[in-house]
């Protein structure tokens, strides 16, 4: 297993060409085990995300009495999940969500309605991320949940019990908070109605629709009735993670000789903001073989060397690409003109302060970036030069810097690079597999 402290060196290849098999989508994988854990009966889930975050969810659920087996030889991504019909066991020990806010927040919603005592903790990054946004609506539902620092930080302590539905406006466009409230709402008395100011990823709503819950969505509002019978298990093949694909979309667009194909990539419209943004910048991206599997759309995506220009992005577009903004910043560095990213203050409370960290590290490489409280202004077209940079223990910063290294002069040395294991353990192998060092390819990239 790679150490998170591992150092990786990236030098620019002469061309980028090939196909990448993406890991399963992280957000959908968390939900596949949580919602099937609530169901009555067994579900088969394939292409489960291999990263540590989803493993944290699996471990927590196992400690709560959900039977989860790997089918086939390790490291199989095929799981058999036996649901609890909605009755979870009290965990013998503290539940550890590691680096994963999705694990912590969704399980907090679920455990608020279970008649057991639970304590959920995480690593130092997770224990410094905001939990008040979650605790507040759960309190309104009658949950007994406490956290450090006046209920604003983990570890969280939950004494589950009866809940009532709420009619609530989500101030933060967070799919994690929304999903936590829905998990609590399934176990509450009376209807739960949520009003979103902006759409966030809707995987939970899709799972609930497919598994027999009474849920309706209208525009940005969601109504959910409590469960009158356990959820029906859902077999599914998880689509490839568009958040992992984003690094290669940017790499393909900015490298002068590139043609990359990303097979079976999830294209849920609440996640495709990165494709829209890159297309607006002029990226040559094609979607082929578009289809629906389970209740989620997917496609094969190909990207080629492109001439990018700067864009302005903000408002409701932000939640649709929130995790991809560090990669988008790299695209902005290589674009002609100015790229302005606003309304993205949420990035400051992710696994690290992503506005500060990506701005700092890309600036070390020669980029010109002005940090804003809620985003950044990137003055594109500056030559990047490889140097020593840091991931700040954040998987998305590590992968974005690796992509910047593909177009920088010289060697980019990334410390704490093993952190990619959080979401994409085979990232370095994928990158290696498409990086070629001689001009023999039959592609049609710029200047080829
Ligand atoms: C996620 C939602 C987003 C995202 C995170 C995964 C999810 O967080 O950044 O990586 O699976 O629900 P927020 O809901 O806090 O915006």
Q: Whose CA is nearest to atom 10 of ligand 1?
A: 323
The region of weakest confidence among 68-77, 173-182, 287-296, 320-329 is 68-77
Cα–ligand 1 centroid distance for 67 (angstroms):
26
Q: Is the pLDDT of residue 206 over 50?
A: yes
Mean pLDDT of 33-40: 98
Give the rounded percent of residues in the chain with a pLDDT score beyond 70: 97
Domain extent listing, the chain: 8-24+239-436, 26-237
Average pLDDT in the chain: 96
- Give the tens place of pLDDT for each residue, 89-118: 999 999 999 999 999 999 999 999 999 999
Q: Is the pLDDT of residue 303 over 50?
A: yes
Distance separating alpha carbons of residues 348 and 357, to the nearest angstrom:
9
Q: Is the pLDDT of residue 443 over 50?
A: no
pLDDT at 4: 63
Give the rounded percent of residues in the chain with a pLDDT score beyond 90: 95
pLDDT at 76: 83
Question: Which are the contacts of 330, defined by CB distance < 8 A and separation ≥ 6?
Answer: 250, 254, 362, 400, 403, 404
Mean pLDDT of 234-255: 98
**How is residue 347 annotated by DSSP?**
G
Mean pLDDT of 121-141: 98
Phi, psi of 346 (to 5 degrees): -55, -30
Dihedral angle, C-alpha 266, 269, 275, 281, nearest 10 °: 180
Cα–ligand 1 centroid distance for 442 (angstroms):
39
pLDDT at 257: 98
Give residues (CB < 6 A) around ligand 1: 27, 30, 102, 174-176, 179, 200-201, 322-323, 346
Q: ∠286-288-289 over CA atoms, to 5°?
A: 170
Mean pLDDT of 305-317: 98
- Bridge partners of 301, per DSSP, are 262, 287
Q: Is the pLDDT of residue 447 over 50?
A: no
- Give the tens place of pLDDT for each residue, 337-370: 999 999 999 999 999 999 999 999 999 999 999 9
Catalytic residue among 53, 202, 323, 394: 323
- Give the tens place of pLDDT for each residue, 315-340: 999 999 999 999 999 999 999 999 99
pLDDT at 72: 84
Active site residue 316: no
Q: Is the pLDDT of residue 225 over 90?
A: yes
Q: Topology of domain 26-237, per CATH?
A: UDP-n-acetylglucosamine1-carboxyvinyl-transferase; Chain (3.65.10)
pLDDT at 419: 98
pLDDT at 446: 40
Q: Topology of domain 8-24+239-436, per CATH?
A: UDP-n-acetylglucosamine1-carboxyvinyl-transferase; Chain (3.65.10)
Distance separating alpha carbons of residues 11 and 171, to the nearest angstrom:
43
- Read off the pLDDT band of 5 (50, 70, 90): confident
Cα–ligand 1 centroid distance for 329 (angstroms):
19
Mean pLDDT of 395-415: 98
Q: Which ligand 1 atom minimizes the distance to the CA of 243? A: 10
pLDDT at 294: 85
pLDDT at 171: 92
Burial class (CB in 10 A: 0-12, 13-18, 19+), 354: buried
Q: Is the pLDDT of residue 385 over 80?
A: yes
- Give the tens place of pLDDT for each residue, 61-81: 999 999 999 998 777 899 999
- Read off the pLDDT band of 439 (50, 70, 90): low
Write the DSSP assignment of 60-115 as a string of letters. Answer: HHHHTT-EEEE-SSSS---EEEE--TT-PPPPSS-EE-TT-HHHHHHHHHHHTTSS
Computed from CA positions of residues 193, 197, 202, 204, in that sequence, does the dihedral angle turn out positive or negative?
negative
Cα–ligand 1 centroid distance for 307 (angstroms):
31
Q: Do 33 and 43 touch, CB atoms closer than 8 A?
A: no
Burial class (CB in 10 A: 0-12, 13-18, 19+), 228: exposed
pLDDT at 2: 40
Phi-psi region of 193 (alpha: psi -120 to 50; beta: other; left: phi over 0): beta
Residue bearing tokens 């495709």 = 272
Q: Which ligand 1 atom minimizes the distance to the CA of 26? A: 11
């Amino acid at each position: 297993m790679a150490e998170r402290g591992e150092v990786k060196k990236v030098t620019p290849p002469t061309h980028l060409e090939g196909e990448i098999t993406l890991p399963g989508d992280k957000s959908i994988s968390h939900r596949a085990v949580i919602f099937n854990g609530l169901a009555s009966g067994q579900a088969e889930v394939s292409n489960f995300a291999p990263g540590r975050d989803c493993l944290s969810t699996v471990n927590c659920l196992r400690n709560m009495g959900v039977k989860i087996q790997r089918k086939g030889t390790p490291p199989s991504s095929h799981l058999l999940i036996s649901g609890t019909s909605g009755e979870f066991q009290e965990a013998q020990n503290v539940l550890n969500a590691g680096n994963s806010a999705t694990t912590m927040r969704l399980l907090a919603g679920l455990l608020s309605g279970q008649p057991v005592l639970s304590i959920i903790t995480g690593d130092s990054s997770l224990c410094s991320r905001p939990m008040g946004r979650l605790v507040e609506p759960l309190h309104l539902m009658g949950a007994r949940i406490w956290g450090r620092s006046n209920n604003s930080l983990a570890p969280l302590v939950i004494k589950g019990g009866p809940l009532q539905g709420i009619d609530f406006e989500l101030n933060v466009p967070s799919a994690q908070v929304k999903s936590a409230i829905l998990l609590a709402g399934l176990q509450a008395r009376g209807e739960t109605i949520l009003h979103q100011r902006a759409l966030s990823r809707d995987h939970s709503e899709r799972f609930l629709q497919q598994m027999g819950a009474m849920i309706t969505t209208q525009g940005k509002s969601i109504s959910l009735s409590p469960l009158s019978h356990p959820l029906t298990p859902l077999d599914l093949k998880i689509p490839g993670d568009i958040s992992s694909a984003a690094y290669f979309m940017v790499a393909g667009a900015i490298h002068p000789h590139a043609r990359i194909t990303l097979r079976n990539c999830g294209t849920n419209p609440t996640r495709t903001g990165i494709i829209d943004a890159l297309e607006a910048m002029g990226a040559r991206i094609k979607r082929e073989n578009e289809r629906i599997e389970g209740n989620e759309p997917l496609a094969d995506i190909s990207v080629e060397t492109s001439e990018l220009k700067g864009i302005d992005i903000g408002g409701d577009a932000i939640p649709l690409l929130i995790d991809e903004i560090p990669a988008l910043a790299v695209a902005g560095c290589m674009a002609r003109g100015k790229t302005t990213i606003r309304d993205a203050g949420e990035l400051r409370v992710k696994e690290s302060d992503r506005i500060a960290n990506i701005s700092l590290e890309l600036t070390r490489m020669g980029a010109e970036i002005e940090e804003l409280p809620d985003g950044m202004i990137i003055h594109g077209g500056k030559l990047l030069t490889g140097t020593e940079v840091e991931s700040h223990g954040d998987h998305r910063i590590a992968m974005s810097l690796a992509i910047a290294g593909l177009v920088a002069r010289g060697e980019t040395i990334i410390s704490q690079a093993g952190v990619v294991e959080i979401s994409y353990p085979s990232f370095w192998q994928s990158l290696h597999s498409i990086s070629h060092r001689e001009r023999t390819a039959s592609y049609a990239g710029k200047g080829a």
